[in-house]
Structure 1
């Protein structure tokens, strides 16, 4: 895990990020949409790298003092190594530096590992979004106050 570094996503990472997205989500973003995020003034996009290989990524949108985690994904063969945690922790630090005070996300009610991760980082469940996902699955809406972190 010490060999894993967190870096800002660049256009050179898009192919790997897209492949991770395709294997992680029922509905994946296109390469073009991912590339747009790299150049967006209101998004934070990070990758986890090991020896130059993309192991995972995170997309966050922010406006004023609030941010939303849009996607977090890790290559299947690299899961359970703390990479998602490392991405989240680095994102929180960078968001705090931007003056962001509140971070929100949605997580599938069936995704217990992600829920445990978010709870361990201090997120609390503030609601439920019924039929949030394209397959009709509900999502928990979670919140983290990062101003004091």
Structure 2
């Protein structure tokens, strides 16, 4: 695996991020919405760069001491190589630096690889959101408390 660098998302990354979003989610964000996130004061948006190309990204919203992971996606040809984990770990560290103590996310009940990653990082399922996704699929609501621990 080539070196993967984690960087703050910039407008130059939006095209590649949008392509990954289209390939990863049934309902993708628009380029305009992704661009708005780059300039938001309450968003953390990171990209994983491999040989100068976007291999994955993460969008997080935060307010006060809580954060919500909105999207995590890795380009199909870059999956199963630790890029999602690297994005999550960097995001957790950056959120800790901002004083965030609690991180939440939703994950499809069918997305076992993502659930495995989140559990390995210390997230716990705290509930189920029935019919959360547009196709009617349920989501697990997961939580990580980071005031008492650092990510594994």
The normalised TM-score by structure 1 is 0.99
Shift of 1:146: 1.1
Given the alignment of the two structures, is residue 13 of structure 1 paired with residue 13 of structure 2, yes or no?
yes
Shift of 1:2: 5.9
Output aligned runs, 1:71-86, within 5 Å: 71-86=71-86
Aligned equivalents of 1:47, 1:147: Cα separation in 2: 25
Name the counterpart of 1:69. 69
- The number of aligned residues is 149
Write out per-residue CA displacement over residues 4-45 of structure 1, whole angstroms, 9 at most, x where no aligned residue: 000000000000000000000000000000000000000000
Aligned equivalents of 2:2, 2:71: Cα separation in 1: 23
Residue 60 of structure 1: SS of its match in structure 2? strand
Gaps of 5+ in 1: none
Name the counterpart of 2:138. 138
Residue 100 of structure 1: SS of its match in structure 2? coil
Gaps of 5+ in 2: none
Aligned equivalents of 1:50, 1:25: Cα separation in 2: 21
CA RMSD across the alignment: 0.7
Runs of 4+ more than 6 Å apart = none
Residue 93 of structure 1: SS of its match in structure 2? helix
The normalised TM-score by structure 2 is 0.97
Aligned equivalents of 1:30, 1:67: Cα separation in 2: 22
Name the counterpart of 2:126. 126
Aligned equivalents of 1:69, 1:123: Cα separation in 2: 12
Residue 110 of structure 2: SS of its match in structure 1? coil
Shift of 1:51: 1.4
Residue 56 of structure 1: SS of its match in structure 2? strand
Aligned equivalents of 2:65, 2:2: Cα separation in 1: 31
